[in-house]
Amino acid sequence: MGEFVEGFETLAQITRGVAVFGSARSQPGTPDYERAQRMGQAIAEAGYTVITGGGPGDMEAANKGALDSGGASVGLAIELPYEPRPNPFLTKTVTFHYFFVRKVMFVKYCQAFVIMPGGFGTLDELFEAVTLVQTTKIRPFPVILAGEDDYWDGLLEWLRNTVVARGKARPEDMDILMRGRTPADVLAILKEKSIS
């Protein structure tokens, strides 16, 4: 209960949050890190608050991009044995013990999810968001698969040709997932969906 109270109190002023998820394993100087940094910068320059998991890799890169451009950079960190502390590019930080409380904060304070290439944690956030939108448990908002390479192509093909084809999801459920290869594409989606 205390984590909910702290989260609500700390994040209460955020009205234009956009979450950026991605791999914690991307290293500074790599193409993935640089892409996430450009994404954070573009989102912040468009007037949104960049909200990440507060950890290393793509999260750090997006936060750095936001901070370097003078924007708000928020980290919703989680206590994990292999992520010792939140990254240093944050204007506001809340650290959680429980994943489910942290997920509530992402959904409550974000108007869109931007998903950079990542692993199981990133996929967890992706499918959690899609499920909540699909089941109308939350307001519909953009879930954008970002990145300029073909990272998401196989997943999208499998979802269409196996999951939907076998009747495990409806064809219209695929509309929840949007593809924004570049920061400009992502900002265009946010504008089109009237994310203010």
Q: Hey, CA dihedral for 178, 117, 65, 87, is it positive or negative?
A: positive
Q: Does domain 2-190 have CATH number 3.40.50.450?
A: yes
**pLDDT of 85 strictly over 90:** no
The confidence band for 63, taking pLDDT boundaries of 50, 70 and 90, is very high
CA end-to-end distance (rounded Å), the chain: 30
pLDDT of residue 6: 87
**pLDDT of 89 strictly over 70:** yes
Mean pLDDT score, 111-123: 96
pLDDT of residue 135: 94
**pLDDT of 180 strictly over 70:** yes
Q: CA of 80: how far to CAs of 54, 85, 98, in Å?
A: 12, 9, 10
pLDDT digits (tens, 9 = 90+) for 156-174: 999 999 999 999 999 999 9
The confidence band for 78, taking pLDDT boundaries of 50, 70 and 90, is confident
Identify any residues that bridge with 114 across adjacent strands, giving them in sequence order. 20, 144
| 164 HSE (CA, 13 A, CB side) | 13
**pLDDT of 72 strictly over 70:** yes
pLDDT of residue 196: 60
State CA 2 to chain mean position distance: 24
pTM: 0.93
What interhelical angle do 183-192 and 31-45 show, nearest 10? 40
pLDDT of residue 193: 81
**pLDDT of 187 strictly over 70:** yes
HEC secondary structure over 79-111: CECCECCCCCCCCEEEEECCHHHHHHHHHHHEE
